[in-house]
Amino acid sequence: MRNPLSLALLALLAAPVAHAEVAIDVIAGSEISFEGLVQADYNDFDSDFTNLNADGHDGDEADNELRRAELVLKGKGPGNVEWVLGYDAKADKWLDVNAKYKIGGDSNHFVQIGQFKQPNSLEELSSTKNNDFISKAAVTNTFGVARRLGVAYGYGSGDWGVTASYFGRELTRNLAHGSGYGVRGYWAPINESGSLLHLGLSYVDMDTDSDTARIRTRPQADLAGARIVDSGNLTNVDRQKTIGAEAMWVMNAFKVQAEYMRASFDRYDNGNVRQSRDFDGDSWYVSGVWNVTGETWGYKGGVPTTPLPAEPATGMWQVGLRYDSIDLDDGSLLPPATPTGAPVVDGVLGGKFDAWTVGVNWYWRSNFKFMLNYVRVDGERYQSSVRRVQSDDPDILEARVQFYW
């Protein structure tokens, strides 16, 4: 039987070359179009302390999987209304399912209702099909709030904007819960073709599901079967508050991008000092991408837009480098109470890691993308099994094949 990656590769190579969204029809004054995204991933792990292979008993240090199979219907009209209905057949979950009313016909002044990406994180708000690296940065995967049901209001221009949102649970059952609100503001003091400077701030305040939170992340590999940093279950958590800062600079074929987030978890007093102590964690990254073939980026709604290849036959080539850091340690390790006892964890020792990611991307024509990443992780975390802080330094080779229309 063929594995999922082989089947995906055959489907991609056999698929006819499409262009951007496929126009379907005009129904009740709405211009309806169809989009799709298929991604197949391969990860090869050189594990250190933690076994990262998701199939731990197959004797193989590599995993492959159909990562996404997104199907999206979009509509423009009637009038100033736009709507979207998206579903990921691979993950079996709803994507964007919302309607937006452009006030005065201005795309920068709107009211939106339904499920949509919440106003935080430059990388999270950017299109998945144009991510610079295969795995999103640790800060995005750990602290970013993605799609939730809610209502949002946005106002701005092509150079600046502010969006505020109130949200609840995710539309698909048994996924993210916890109501709250978020706000994001951005400003592009330089916004010209081939020259861009973007600055942004965001803040999210949300309730926690059953007064419990758990913060953890994979080591920059989406198919990894384990996390090397993990706060464990934090009980008595009333609210999670996250502040974020973002910046991006584009100069012709070069782009530098950075984000920082710090999350605070407010815990109430239940008589247990350790279970009532607030917890703080933070993460950041800085990345650089060079379009070897000379293309530059556009800018819309406070996020970068990736161009089509200048020469479709040869495609657009990119090389990139990213440095990530995450710290989930907010406590200390005390000496054991007895000579043979285990050290005492005072607070939360979720671990921390730094990671380098080197990547090459090839956008071939207008529908295909091929990605290759090498990830080097330098991590450490207290492990009760060995009664000490244990280093964990895996190497990971990643590949992705993508088809979209």
Instruction: Kindly indicate the confidence band of residue 77, based on its pLDDT and cuts at 50, 70 and 90.
Output: very high
The whole-chain average pLDDT of the chain stands at 91
Structure tokens at 331: 């406590």
* Predicted pLDDT of residue 210: 87
Measuring CA to CA, which residue among 300, 280, 271 is closest to residue 122?
A: 300
Structure tokens at 70: 């997104």
* Predicted pLDDT of residue 274: 59
Give the residue-averaged pLDDT of 230-255: 96
Task: Collect all residues with Cβ–Cβ distance below 8 Å to 136 and sequence separation of at least 6.
Answer: 123, 124, 144
User: For residue range 267-276, what is the model confidence (pLDDT) as tens digits?
Assistant: 887 656 555 6
Instruction: Kindly indicate the confidence band of residue 115, based on its pLDDT and cuts at 50, 70 and 90.
Output: very high
CA distance 69 to 226: 23
Structure tokens at 173: 């059952």
Q: 290 pLDDT exceeds 90?
A: yes
* Predicted pLDDT of residue 114: 98
Measuring CA to CA, which residue among 404, 397, 403 is closest to residue 42?
A: 397
Give the residue-averaged pLDDT of 165-188: 96
User: For residue range 308-330, what is the model confidence (pLDDT) as tens digits?
Assistant: 999 988 999 999 999 999 999 99
* Predicted pLDDT of residue 268: 86
Give the residue-averaged pLDDT of 117-121: 96
320 strand-pairing partners: 289, 359
Radius of gyration of the chain (CA): 22
* Predicted pLDDT of residue 53: 87
Residue pair 225/55 in contact by the 8 Å Cβ criterion:
yes
Task: Collect all residues with Cβ–Cβ distance below 8 Å to 151 and sequence separation of at least 6.
Answer: 111, 112, 113, 165, 166
DSSP 340: T
Residue type, 101: Y
Q: How many residues does the chain have?
A: 405
The counts of H helices and E strands in the chain are: 4, 22
Torsion of CA 87, 89, 91, 96, to 10 degrees: -10
Q: 8 pLDDT exceeds 60?
A: no
CA distance 204 to 131: 23
Q: Give the pairing type, strands 22-27 and 388-392.
A: unpaired
Quote the distance between the C-alpha of residue 341 and its chain's center: 41
Q: Which residue do the tokens 């529908």 mark? A: 367
Q: 391 pLDDT exceeds 50?
A: yes
Task: Collect all residues with Cβ–Cβ distance below 8 Å to 339 and sequence separation of at least 6.
Answer: none
Residue pair 273/285 in contact by the 8 Å Cβ criterion:
no
Give the residue-averaged pLDDT of 128-132: 94
Per DSSP, helices labelled H in 43-196 are 122-125, 138-143
* Predicted pLDDT of residue 273: 56
Instruction: Kindly indicate the confidence band of residue 22, based on its pLDDT and cuts at 50, 70 and 90.
Output: confident
Give the residue-averaged pLDDT of 216-239: 93
Give the residue-averaged pLDDT of 208-219: 92
Measuring CA to CA, which residue among 133, 138, 43 is closest to residue 352?
A: 138
Residue pair 145/171 in contact by the 8 Å Cβ criterion:
no
Percent of the chain surpassing pLDDT 90: 79
Give the residue-averaged pLDDT of 221-236: 93
Give the residue-averaged pLDDT of 167-190: 96
Residue pair 327/282 in contact by the 8 Å Cβ criterion:
yes
Structure tokens at 364: 């071939």
* Predicted pLDDT of residue 57: 56
DSSP 3-state assignment of 302? coil
Q: Where are the domains of the chain?
A: 45-64+107-404
* Predicted pLDDT of residue 352: 97
Cα-based angle 96, 100, 106 (whole degrees, multiple of 5): 130
Type and span of the H or E element at 189: strand 180-192
CA distance 315 to 325: 32
Measured between alpha carbons, how far is residue 330 from residues 242, 340, 351 in Å?
Answer: 16, 25, 9
DSSP 3-state assignment of 76? strand
pTM of the predicted structure, to 2 decimals: 0.91
Q: 364 pLDDT exceeds 70?
A: yes
2.40.160.10, 3.40.640.10, 1.10.1060.10, 3.40.630.30: which CATH number matches 45-64+107-404?
2.40.160.10
